Chains A and B, each alone.
Chain A
Amino acid sequence: MLKTTGIIKLTLRENLRGQLLWTSAISGCVLLVLMAVLSGVALSHEARVIDIISYFAADQLLLFVALLSGSSICSNDFSSRGIAELYIPAGATRQSVYLARLIAYAAVLLMLATALFALKIFALPGFSEINYGMNFQIQVLMLFYSWLKGIAALAIAGLLGSLVRPLYAVLATVTLFSFGHLTSSLDSLVNSGIALNPAADLSQTNLLLLGLLKIWNPNLLVLESARGEWIFPPAQQIAQAAAWAICCILISTGLAFARINKIDLRP
């Protein structure tokens, strides 16, 4: 009888022997080392900028892998001649195939996130400066959050991949996440505007809109706060961001489950 764990194992092996994971890991390591070297020879204020860019670059690399993997789950397995054709007649449900693949890709993302984190924290101790004195527990929490954000991207790309072709799914997910980043920048701009001109007033509608934008991307709140000062206690902010990521994962997976029964496995 077909086991769901069997599909997870096979997907893990497929990834561990594939090029995407290793190319991403090596690219990430090279990027971090190069940035560390640059940071070492730069002036102090430049070094800070380079560190921040490095931090984001590693985060974005993880996101990129998540987007590519997520968008291919549905498109390769269900919308075209894929390995679901092997699993489904053997007795696996479409949902279990999807979930097994999602779990295996999440595990791969965890490996990649942990490898880059370990390199940043242990092999390149200069990077810990970016965290402005954060303790190790908070750094581990941020790794956990970064991983959750990757799975959220994976799940959203998976859902979109069940609706459109993989390339469009990647583009749509990138748009969603870019929107989150832009809204966060807008929020920072508004805050600095208010700081410069305390008399400035924002309408209730604008405040409401800004609040809604913040709900979309609290992950940036965590990073923005880490860069400057924490608005709330760090653990609380990370927990808030994690709750957001978990909501995204659950909603996307639920919608993909509903959608997946309608996909024809076309020859």
Chain B
Amino acid sequence: MSGRFLTANDLFYKWHTQDIFDRQKDKVLWTIENLEINEPGIILLAGRNGVGKSTLLRCLLGLMKPTRGNILWFGESTLPRGRIGYLPELPVLPARAKVSEIITSLLGLSVSDFKRKEQELPAIRSLNISALMDRQAQLLSKGQQQKLLLTLALAGAPSGFVLDEPFSGLDPWARSELADHLVQLGAQDHFLLVSSHDAPPRIRKHIRETWIIENQKLQRIPGCAIPE
């Protein structure tokens, strides 16, 4: 059976450790038989530190290569252009570029076209990135950088989002705003794969499924299955 959005089979990732005598050891990070995203909604990826959540997300997005396994997005083996919005754990933005320059260069829109688009799309409007247009992106706070990346992801009109620790480092107001945005997106026929240790309460009740990595295996549990 293939997933509407994502299908991954037989995923396996091992990495090499090296001691001071140059002896190599293989360590298995995880083995995942089957993964699918068939429906819109929010999926939470959880697990203890170091179990390989970010590595899994990176493998799914083609940033890293699993040791073995097949990954298909929308039935294709390559990541379709612009159909997935990605929010990395620690955003890296072009050096010394203003927010307006990043938006115009990466989206191929003029500032006025972007502002028009912003008015048309409530999700983008609520992020209010226009207020930061003249600021240097690398000097923004983490929450503001995440808003910028989310704006870039939303403006590309993707079908889904992969978000790596979107809530970490955000103030309570930004966390609750972001949670609202994500719930809205989940309700609008988008899928959201969110890796998080501290999903806010207002998003928990909207989580459709939890993927937990434990003992190098991935378990799929309906609803939100992480402790408060």
Contact = CB atoms under 8 A, between A and B. Distances in A.
Interface string A222-265: 00000000000000000000000000000000000000001011
A85 B88 CA distance: 8
Interface string B70-109: 0000000001111111101111111111000110111110
A18 B94 CA distance: 12
B201 to A, nearest CB: 28
Interface stretch (A32-40, A57-65, A87-95, A105-113): A87-95
A148 to B, nearest CB: 27
B105 A91 contact: no
Contacts of A86: 88, 91-94, 106, 149, 152
A266 B101 CA distance: 27
B156 interface: yes
> By CB atoms of chain A within 10 A, which of B84, B101, B106 has the most?
B106
Contacts of A91: 79-83, 156
B64 A2 contact: no
Given A1-B156, A3-B105, A267-B58, A10 B79 contact: no
A82 B152 contact: no
B140 to A, nearest CB: 14
A7 interface: yes
A89 B63 contact: yes
Contact of B86 (A18, A82, A89): A89
A82 B95 CA distance: 11
Contact of A89 (B79, B94, B102): B79
B169 interface: no
A18 B95 contact: yes
Contact of A1 (B64, B82, B105): B82
Interface in B35-87: 54-55, 58, 61-65, 79-86
A86 B151 CA distance: 13
B162 interface: yes
A10 B105 contact: yes
- Main secondary structure on chain A at its contact with chain B? loop
Contacts of B83: 91
Contacts of B104: 6
B99 to A, nearest CB: 12
A17 interface: yes
Chain B, interface size: which category? 35 or more
A204 B17 CA distance: 51
Given A2-B81, A264-B65, A265-B63, A82 B92 contact: yes
A264 B93 CA distance: 19
A212 interface: no
Given A1-B156, A89-B61, A89-B86, A6 B92 contact: no
Contacts of B81: 1-2, 91
Nearest to B89: A267
A87 B156 CA distance: 12
Contact of A85 (B55, B84, B92): B92
A129 interface: no
Tell which of B65, B79, B90, B94 has the most Cβ of chain A within 10 Å: B94
B82 to A, nearest CB: 4
Contact of A2 (B62, B63, B82, B84): B82
Contacts of B107: 1-2, 6
A83 B92 contact: yes
Nearest to A94: B62
A5 B109 CA distance: 12
A14 B96 contact: yes
A85 B91 CA distance: 9
Contacts of A267: 54-55, 58, 89
A14 B83 CA distance: 27
A266 B90 CA distance: 12
A14 B94 contact: yes
Contacts of B82: 1-2, 90-91
15 contacts: A1-B156, A3-B106, A6-B106, A10-B97, A10-B102, A13-B94, A13-B101, A14-B94, A17-B95, A88-B62, A88-B63, A90-B156, A91-B83, A267-B54, A267-B89
Across chains A and B, which 8 residue pairs bring their CB atoms closest together, nearest first? Answer: A91-B81, A89-B86, A6-B105, A265-B63, A91-B82, A17-B96, A264-B64, A10-B94
Given A10-B97, A90-B152, A90-B153, 8 more contacts: A13-B96, A14-B97, A83-B93, A86-B88, A86-B91, A87-B106, A89-B63, A262-B65
